[in-house]
Amino acid sequence: MLADCEICRRIGKKIKNLRLRQNITQMSLAEQSQISVSSVKKIENGEIGSFDSLMRVLRILGELDIFSPLLKEEDMSPNEYLEFVEANKKKQRKRAKSTSNTNPSFNQEESEW
């Protein structure tokens, strides 16, 4: 298993190669990502201090889909689905039953209103 610093170094190298293959300058990548040039340089050197900056850079380079496996929702097991359905049934609001005029002495036609 790689150390964290080695992982960051390899990610930075990969980002630099992607940028160069797309013929984008560090300045241009910084402007498009709305981060500083020094942040781009740090990321490329493996000094990834901000996940937000990393995501911005990857979005501009067209590589944000690298996070897709982390965003995929897992299928529910039958038991989990049943628990989900039961929980939602309990959350549904109960409505008041409409009251019909059960008072025989009440007649709308005789009302003075």
pTM, full prediction: 0.63
pLDDT digits (tens, 9 = 90+) for 1-30: 889 999 999 999 999 999 999 999 999 999
The answer for residues whose C-beta is within 8 angstroms of residue 71's C-beta and 6 or more apart is none
Structure tokens at 78: 């039958």
Q: How far apart are CA 25 and CA 28, in angstroms?
A: 5
User: How confident is residue 78, by pLDDT bands cut at 50, 70 and 90?
Assistant: confident
Q: How far apart are CA 40 and CA 54, in angstroms?
A: 9
